[in-house]
């Protein structure tokens, strides 16, 4: 599904800004509780910075959606890594 942000949010007031930047160690995976690495926090904060610079509601909503997609992608990667590590771990049943 593709959203036309300009059409969907035309004429609406901007959301309150600025949004605060995430600090290192504050972003965690919703699936595993693992903490995001500093590079991921920096990338997440770039979306926040772009949100804070947006000139209209459509731009803000677009950046919020992109930031959320990035967050979910990071959580999915961490979940896959954790799942793979569990599969690779030696099993007590093998003995």
Which is more confident, 51 or 94? Answer: 51
Residue 95 lies in a domain: no
Residue 66 lies in a domain: yes
Residue 31 lies in a domain: no
Residue 57 lies in a domain: yes
Nearest residue to 66 (alpha-carbon basis) of 38, 42, 46, 40: 46
Residue 6 lies in a domain: no
Where in the sequence is the domain holding 63, given as residue range(s)?
Answer: 37-88
Residue 14 lies in a domain: no
- Our count of domains for the chain comes to 1
Q: Is the pLDDT of residue 68 over 70?
A: yes
Residue 47 lies in a domain: yes
- Rounded to the nearest angstrom, the gap between the alpha carbon of residue 61 and the centroid of all alpha carbons in its chain is 14
Q: What is the pLDDT of residues 3-38, one digit of tens each?
A: 999 999 999 999 987 999 999 999 999 988 999 999
* Mean per-residue pLDDT, 62-80: 96
User: For residue 95, what pLDDT is reported?
Assistant: 52
Residue 69 lies in a domain: yes
Q: Is the pLDDT of residue 93 over 80?
A: no
Q: Is the pLDDT of residue 90 over 90?
A: no
């Amino acid at each position: 599904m593709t959203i036309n942000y300009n059409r969907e949010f035309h004429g609406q007031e901007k959301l309150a800004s600025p949004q605060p930047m995430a600090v290192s160690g504050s972003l965690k995976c919703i699936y595993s509780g693992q903490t995001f690495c500093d590079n991921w926090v920096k990338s997440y904060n770039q979306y926040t910075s772009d949100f804070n610079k947006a000139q209209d509601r459509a731009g803000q909503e677009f950046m919020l959606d992109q930031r959320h997609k990035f967050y979910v992608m990071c959580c999915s990667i961490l979940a896959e890594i954790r799942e793979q590590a569990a599969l690779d771990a030696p099993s007590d049943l093998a003995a």
